[in-house]
Structure 1
Amino acid sequence: MTGSGPADVTRRSLLIGAGGAAVSAPAIVPAQRLGSAPQVTVVGAGVFGSWTAEQLRRRGARVTLVDAYGPAHSRASSGGESRMTRAAYGKDDIYTRMALASLAEWKTLSAAAGLPIFVPHGVLMLFPREEQYFLDTMAAHRRLGLPTQALGPAELARRFPMIDMTGIAVGTYEPGFGALMARRAVQTLVGRFLASGGSFEQRKFQGTSSLAPSDHLVLALGPWLPRVLPGLLRGRIVATRQEVFTFAPPSADARFTPAQMPGWADFNGGDLFYGFPDLEGKGVKFARDTHGVEVDPDRNDRRFTDAALAAVIAFRDRRFPLLRGAPLATSEVCQYENSSNGDFLIAPHPQDAKVTLVGGGSGHGFKHGPEVGRLAAELVLDGKQPDPRFGLATKSNVQKREVI
């Protein structure tokens, strides 16, 4: 991800036609090629941009990755410590398949890294009733042959004694999934991309005339994407503030380690809380998945609010009674970049097929980075359109989230 001033982009200028002001000279000039290898510039070194750059490189393109602040920096949606990887998506089994394919890439990257990138502690989802999301998830996982387990209250209480299962009717447990160490993952990926012949430039994106000439441009700017393309994406992708907390577990209590405690999500009567065990000694993580207040990614106040902390503590004390009174270890304020319906954006610019738009991670995108990159690379190099739900036409100015 990278910061940038407001401007809309085409090869001719910064896209007057989509509602932005033209502020720069011709944007993309055909590059001299070495043989037939296309030259591609990817702007934004978050998880989507970095995996797009790597997938393009694997397919023989000459790729330059550009970011103002560096891979997975603290302002980016891909910054921070941990992200969940799961295949539970209810009826949206396109994401189940993408999560599975991406997990294989994450495991390969983790095996090659000096420190773990993937932590396989399993993922538990808790429901107050056998609702449709639960039924659809189990049906999809059975079709795909996944070892996901449906557990009732007694079995949940026996296997996960650190969680009070009051009010829980059923849960899904995915033993093969877990946590991704976010910043480490992206920085490791970019390091391998560079070692394998890719290029990186740290600079602020100020329109395509500020970049080296390319045959194709990929804009993967995360929460900055609607700022760069306001006439096209304002309202269709919205950055929102998210607050995350970790608490110090009781001394020598193994129940909160990744060996015993899973990552979890609690469908709490329309509200959704989620968290992780104590990863690498940072503390037990809690967050409320609100997709809340819209923010400017450059001016997002990184101080937590008392109201957010109080809501998390109230939930923690009810669902995790062994953590009552646990001291706050860390707090973090980041952001999502939400598409209007929660589906990703992987699409050509409507006025210029040589510009590809990648974004809309919507709080669940990190795990899918490898597959998003693959789909974007196929679009850039082969003109192969991904599933229509990733197109621009499915994104409106009305925020109605449908993917969880």
Structure 2
Amino acid sequence: GRGEHVPGAAKEVTMRGGAAAGVRAELRGGTEAQIEADAVVIAAGYAGVALVQPLLGEMDLGIRRLPHFTTYWDVPFPAGADLHKSRLPAWADLGVSLYGFPDDGESGFKMAWHEPRRGEGEEAREPTAEALEALRAAGETRFPALRSATYRGQYACAYDSTPDEVFQIGAVPGTSGVYFVGGLSGHGYKHAPSIGESVAALVCGSPQPIDLAPYALRDAGRRAL
């Protein structure tokens, strides 16, 4: 059947006898409504933790909010031409936990550490000049054209991270019809299509394109981290 988009904010997953009954939501304009459903998928990044936690009891998924920033750079022609999307794919240097995207002709060359800067505290802040130079210098070892790059700006965000960076995806234990997708640790956007197809199959009881069993919800406090 056709889906319906309801703009608003989910406040609570409602249950009936241990089974999903829907979602209590605050709709645009401030009114509240009960959206009836026999299956609920919580896929809201770190905000999803607050929705699923009341259903978990003492179980701790170990998902934490870690501040992060990505940066954008202008690289002069002609060296910068090699960093354009027509010549360079998305890339990652796992040896130094650095990744980025080619210049799309509008935003500039994107580059960031994969490892969140835990020393920045709970709220993401504008990176210091020293932090930016360290990032640029690390990128320069792989892309010499970055030697003459000009910093354009940054975008602050946050990871919903698990201690081991393994996703938490699956049915919520002790419930029927409630599913959780989280702990994607900065990789969700890359895997969204395959995760979406597999979660939809899980909800519908169909064969999953990707086996989600390795990502079943688990108590982080009971794992050797």
The whole-number CA distance in structure 1 between the counterparts of 2:40 and 2:129 is: 42
Q: TM-score normalized by structure 2?
A: 0.76
**Bigger fraction of residues in strand:** 2
Q: How does the TM-score come out when normalised to structure 1?
A: 0.44
State the partner residue of 2:24.
209
Alignment of 1:347 with 2:170, yes or no, is: yes
Post-superposition CA distance 1:149-188 (Å, at most 9, x none)? xxxxxxxxxxxxxxxxxxxxxxxxxxxxxxxxxxxxxxxx
Counterpart-to-counterpart distance in 1, 2:82 and 2:206: 50
Q: Which of 200, 214, 220 does residue 396 from structure 1 map onto? A: 220
- The structure where helix makes up a greater share of residues is 1
Task: Indicate conservation of the 8 Å contact 1:247/1:326, yes or no.
Answer: yes
Structure 2 segments unaligned to the other structure (5+ residues): 13-22, 26-33
Q: CA RMSD of the aligned region, Å?
A: 2.8
Q: How many angstroms does 1:274 deviate by? A: 1.3
Aligned mates of 1:389, 1:319 — CA distance in 2: 34
Q: Which residue of 2 aligns with 1:376?
A: 199
Counterpart residue identity of residue 109, structure 2 = V
Residues 302 and 204 (structure 1 numbering): CA distance in 2 closer, same or farther, change over 3 Å?
Answer: farther
What per-residue deviation string (whole Å, max 9, x for no partner) do you get for residues 125-160 of structure 1?
xxxxxxxxxxxxxxxxxxxxxxxxxxxxxxxxxxxx
Question: Kindly tell me: are residues 369 and 356 of structure 1, through their superposed partners in 2, closer, same or farther at Cα, counting changes over 3 Å?
Answer: same
Matched, 1:226 2:65: no
Which residue of structure 1 lines up, in the alignment, with residue 114 of structure 2?
289
Question: Where in structure 1 do 4 or more consecutive aligned residues deviate above 4 Å?
Answer: 383-386
Letter in 2 for 1:225: G
Q: Does 1:265 align with 2:92?
A: yes
d(CA) in 2 for partners of 1:372, 1:317: 34
- Structure 1: distance between partners of 2:110 and 2:74: 9
Q: d(CA) in 2 for partners of 1:323 and 1:368?
A: 29
User: Contact 1:221/1:359 (CA < 8 Å) preserved in 2?
Assistant: yes
Counterparts of residues 40-189 of structure 1 (less than 5 Å): 60=1
d(CA) in 2 for partners of 1:356, 1:321: 46
Would you say the 8 A contact 1:246–1:329 is kept in 2? yes
Q: Secondary structure at the match of 2:91?
A: strand
Distance 1:295 1:379 in 2: 38
Contact 1:239 1:295 in 2 (8 A): no
The CA deviation at 1:302 is 5.1
* 1:286-365 alignment runs, 5 A limit: 286-293=111-118, 300-301=123-124, 303-365=126-188
Q: Match of 1:278, as an amino acid?
A: D
SS in structure 1 at match of 2:123: coil
Q: 1:343 to 1:282 in 2, by over 3 A?
A: same
- Hey, what's the Cα distance between the residues in 2 that align with 1:344 and 1:216? 21
Counterparts in 2 of 1:202 and 1:304: CA distance versus 1, 3 Å: farther
**What is aligned with 1:239?**
65
Paired AA for residue 351 in structure 1: G
Distance 1:382 1:319 in 2: 46
Q: Distance in 2 between matches of 1:289 and 1:283?
A: 19
What's the secondary structure of 2:202's corresponding residue?
helix
The 8 Å contact of residues 219 and 356 in structure 1, kept in 2 or not, is answered as yes
Q: In 1, Cα distance between the equivalents of 2:200 and 2:117? A: 32
Query: C-alpha deviations, 1:285-329, integer Å up to 9, x for none?
Result: 111111443999xx7335334453132022133332322132101
